[in-house]
Amino acid sequence: MKKQKAISLVEIIIVIAILMILLVIALGIFKPAAMVNRAQDAERKADLDRIKIAFEDYYNDKGCYPNYNEYLHKMFDEAYCDKDFFKPWMNKWPCDPDGKPYPIIVGVGSETEICPKFFKIMAKLENKGDPHLYNQGPIEEEFANVANYSVSSPNYPNIPPTIIVDATSTPMLTDIRTQGG
C-alpha cells in the first residue's frame, strides 16, 4: 500500500499568500472603483444627451423650452426620478446615479419674457481624467461644486449672464436673463 501524503500547514500558508498577492495585483490592474466611476460617468453623459434631445423636441413642438411652472419644478424633485411626467418627449425622467436630479438652467432673452429660449443641463463627472471635462464658462464660479460637464441648447449665450434670483429659483434652478436683452 502506498502512503498518502498530507498537506502541511506551511504549504497551505504559501498557497494563501500566493492567492493574496494575485488578488492585490488584479485589484491594482482593474481598479474597481475607477471602473464604477467611469460607468456612472457614461450614464451621466447618456442621460444629459437624452434630456437635451427631449428639450429640443419640446422646443420644436412648443416654440420654447420647458418652464418652471409646467415641468421644471418636477425635474428638480427626487420624487419624480424615473417617472413619466415628461411624456411624450421622454418616457422616464433620468436622475444622476447618486439619485439626485441634474441641475438645469433655463433662460430668456429679456426681463419681460417668460418662455425659456435657451438651457444648460449639468452633471459632476467623477473621473477627473475624462477628456470631456471643461469649465462652465461664465457660470463656473456659481456651479463649481455642482458640475464639470454640461450640454446646452445651441443658442446658449457666451456672454456672462445676469442671474436673477426670484421666487421660483432654487439652488438647482436658475433663471438667467441675458444682459441688455
Summarised one tens digit per residue, pLDDT across range 157-176 is 765 555 444 434 444 445 55
Sheet strands (E) in 26-136: 104-108, 118-123
In a domain, 5, yes or no: no
In a domain, 113, yes or no: yes
* Orientation angle between helical segments 32-62 and 9-30, nearest 10 degrees: 30
| pLDDT tens profile 71-98 | 888 898 899 999 999 999 999 999 999 8
In a domain, 128, yes or no: yes
In a domain, 132, yes or no: yes
In a domain, 55, yes or no: yes
What number of residues does the chain have? 181
Taking Cα atoms as reference points, which of 64, 121, 56 lies closest to residue 90?
56
pTM above 0.75, yes or no: no
The parent domain of residue 103 ranges over: 32-177
What are φ and ψ of residue 60, in 5° steps? -65, -35
Residue 99: C-alpha distances to residues 5, 42, 96, 118, 146 (Å) = 57, 15, 5, 25, 14
In a domain, 88, yes or no: yes
Average pLDDT over residues 43-56: 95
| Residue 179 pLDDT | 44
Could you give the number of structural domains in the chain? 1
| Whether residue 178 has pLDDT greater than 50 | no
In a domain, 162, yes or no: yes
In a domain, 89, yes or no: yes
